Homo-oligomer: A and B are copies of this chain.
Amino acid sequence: MIENVTNTDDAERRSAIVLLSGGLDSATTLYLARAAGARLIAVTFRYGQRHAVEVEAARRVALAAGVSEHLLIDLDARVFRGSALTGDQPVPKDRVPDTGEIPPTYVPARNTVFLAYAVGLAEARGATDIYIGVNAVDYSGYPDCRPEFIEAFQRLITLGTRAGYEGRPVRVHAPLMHLTKVEIIRRGLALGLDYGLTRSCYDPDAQGRACGGCESCRLRLEAFRQLGLRDPAPYAIHEPPA
């Protein structure tokens, strides 16, 4: 099939807002949105997170993906207090995922705020789609990463925005929702994503190297191990051989 190149012109393509933290999941989501043919507007939030090295990772990934635009948005850090990710508690290093409890790394209403901003931006820019890399399989048990949360948000914006009121609501996509971490990495690799650009650690050292012990590192390292690959991101610990 011969591609119609004019149809893929920036001006004629649908635009998508992609929430990009710089971690493994959001980077993969960006590449999936790109593969879907969208013109990409990546958005990264600074909210006082201690793992600010993520923001640099987001820049690298956005550049590599060839996004049309990458917005850094500063949020009022007072709103997100109380989490291990904003430095108000220690990051646990031995937590077993999937216990049914919400871990101390939960950040109050984070995805609600991120998605709310994304919707405002989508309406302001005429974007038709929003991509978010939430996942309910290999995840930390955050309530705002579950499918029912995404469905509730879709309902909210279908009711509460001009676009929704006029019958063309912005669509929220969570393409990783039901994938394992191994499946996520497989998809990203197939799309040419260099995971060495991404950072997932909740508690990196001063050089930006991952701790290897937090829940996010453990989920990630285990998935690369299962794939028989070495995680290309830098670790402060000596990583066990794959």
Contact = CB atoms under 8 A, between A and B. Distances in A.
Given A74-B76, A80-B120, A165 B143 contact: yes
Given A143-B161, A162-B106, A165-B143, A120 B124 contact: no
- Interface bracket on A: 35 or more
> Which DSSP category, helix, strand, loop or mixed, fits chain A's interface?
helix
Contacts of A80: 120, 124
A93 interface: no
Interface stretch (A110-118, A178-186, A205-213, A229-237): A110-118
Contacts of A116: 109, 112-113, 115-117
Which of the listed residues A125, A155, A156 has the most CB atoms from chain B within 10 Å of its own CB? A156
Interface in A139-179: 143-144, 146, 148-149, 152-153, 155-157, 159-162, 164-166
A91 to B, nearest CB: 17
A82 B160 CA distance: 16
A102 interface: yes
Contacts of A146: 159-160
A112 B161 contact: yes
Nearest to A83: B124
A233 B112 CA distance: 36
Which of the listed residues A79, A146, A148 has the most CB atoms from chain B within 10 Å of its own CB? A79
A112 B123 contact: no
B113 A81 contact: no
B123 A160 contact: no
Given A79-B73, A112-B120, A149 B160 contact: yes
A143 B164 contact: yes
Contacts of A119: 108-109, 112
9 contacts: A71-B78, A73-B79, A78-B121, A80-B124, A82-B123, A102-B165, A112-B119, A116-B117, A155-B156
Given A81-B125, A153-B160, 8 more contacts: A78-B121, A82-B123, A108-B121, A109-B116, A110-B120, A112-B116, A143-B164, A156-B156
